[in-house]
């Protein structure tokens, strides 16, 4: 854990290091006749990588949107750092870095302009870290965002999500459609570094082998229900691989291999 952010067992935001970063209780959400989330319970302690896996349409993004406060719980409750993300969006979102598959960035900006623009919204922005990330991601500061490849845009989005050193990094299908080199950048050194610093990562994907590379704990969701939530080591011990566990519990594969 980071010594500079913890004092007497309490993080800078005032929450105990022993409290769950995310606590979801009996969360239900419907869209017309479709039940998107069905009495979901979830508790994620600090300092690990949590994989949220499921087929497309299983409810992963809907759950993450509730965690970010973008959707209000119809029934049940959601707490992030002990706070209601709908009632206190500033208190929650100021401590979360977020990257999604859509990764909508202003195309008219240059990379250096995007960095300066984003810095203005985050008091904890770390200029040196942002520059280290820009260089390691090989992003040209003078390049227009709209001219970047999909992989470069993903790297730029990840830079923005990481540069203020958020306590929670939420990644919603961040590597969908990206080549293996970019996936390795996102899922390898960066994610492990964040978790090793005592921060928490919630990583959503339908690519099981991808999640198995980096996750400490895996939650499987199917048709809006939690099929399993357990440490990856326990899942491997009981089923051999994450893919085998998913087929046994859900009845089908989530997706082809990430390399296909």
CA 102 vs CA 68, 144, 150, 175: distances in Å: 16, 18, 10, 10
Q: Any idea where the domains of the chain sit in the sequence?
A: 100-165
- Yes or no: say if 109 and 119 are a contact pair by the CB < 8 Å rule: no
- pLDDT per residue as tens digits for the range 42-75: 999 998 999 999 988 899 999 999 999 999 999 9
Query: Is pLDDT of 82 > 50?
Result: yes
pLDDT, mean of residues 124-141: 92
- Yes or no: say if 133 and 162 are a contact pair by the CB < 8 Å rule: yes
Distance CA(174)–CA(202), nearest Å, equals 11
- pLDDT per residue as tens digits for the range 3-48: 333 333 444 444 444 578 999 999 999 998 889 999 999 999 998 9
* Mean pLDDT computed over every residue of the chain: 85
Query: Is pLDDT of 255 > 70?
Result: no
- Yes or no: say if 202 and 23 are a contact pair by the CB < 8 Å rule: no
> So what's the pLDDT on residue 194?
80
Query: Is pLDDT of 182 > 80?
Result: no
Of residues 186 and 74, which shows the higher confidence score?
74
Rg for the chain, CA atoms, rounded: 18
> So what's the pLDDT on residue 10?
42
Query: Is pLDDT of 252 > 90?
Result: no
Q: Rounded to the nearest 10 degrees, how much is the dihedral formed by the CA atoms of 14, 16, 22, 28?
A: -90
Distance CA(143)–CA(159), nearest Å, equals 15
Residue 226's nearest CA partner among 89, 11, 28 is 28
pLDDT, mean of residues 185-201: 78
Of residues 210 and 97, which shows the higher confidence score?
97
Distance CA(20)–CA(23), nearest Å, equals 6
Residue 13's nearest CA partner among 168, 139, 145, 146 is 168
Work out the pLDDT band at 253, boundaries 50, 70, 90: low
Q: Rounded to the nearest 10 degrees, how much is the dihedral formed by the CA atoms of 118, 100, 159, 184?
A: 180
> So what's the pLDDT on residue 221?
95
DSSP alpha helix (H) spans, the chain = 60-67, 89-93, 111-119, 127-136, 150-162, 180-185, 191-196, 208-214, 232-239, 242-250
Query: Is pLDDT of 185 > 80?
Result: no
- pLDDT per residue as tens digits for the range 220-240: 999 999 999 999 999 999 999
pLDDT, mean of residues 195-204: 88
């Amino acid at each position: 854990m980071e010594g500079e952010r913890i004092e007497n067992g309490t993080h800078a935001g005032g929450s105990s290091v022993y409290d769950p970063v995310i606590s979801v209780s009996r969360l239900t959400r419907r869209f017309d006749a479709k039940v998107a989330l069905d009495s979901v319970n979830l508790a994620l302690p600090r300092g690990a990588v949590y994989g949220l896996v499921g087929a497309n349409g299983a409810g992963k993004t809907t759950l993450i949107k509730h965690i970010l406060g973008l959707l209000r719980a119809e029934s049940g409750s959601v707490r992030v750092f002990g706070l209601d993300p709908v009632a206190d969006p500033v208190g929650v979102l100021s401590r979360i870095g977020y990257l999604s598959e859509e990764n909508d960035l202003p195309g008219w900006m240059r990379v250096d302009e995007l960095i300066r623009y984003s810095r203005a919204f985050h008091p904890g922005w770390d200029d040196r870290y942002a520059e280290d990330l820009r260089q390691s991601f090989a992003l040209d500061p003078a390049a227009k965002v709209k001219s970047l490849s999909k992989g470069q845009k993903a790297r730029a989005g990840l830079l923005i999500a990481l540069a203020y050193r958020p306590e929670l990094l939420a990644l919603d299908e961040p590597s969908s459609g990206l080549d293996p080199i970019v996936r390795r950048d996102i899922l390898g050194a960066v994610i492990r570094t964040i978790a090793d610093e005592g921060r928490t990562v919630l990583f959503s994907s339908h690519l099981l082998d991808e999640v198995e590379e980096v996750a400490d704990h895996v939650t499987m969701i199917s048709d809006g229900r939690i099929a399993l939530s357990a440490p990856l080591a326990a899942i491997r011990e009981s089923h051999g691989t994450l893919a085998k566990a998913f087929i046994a519990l859900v009845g089908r594969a989530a997706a082809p291999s990430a390399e296909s």
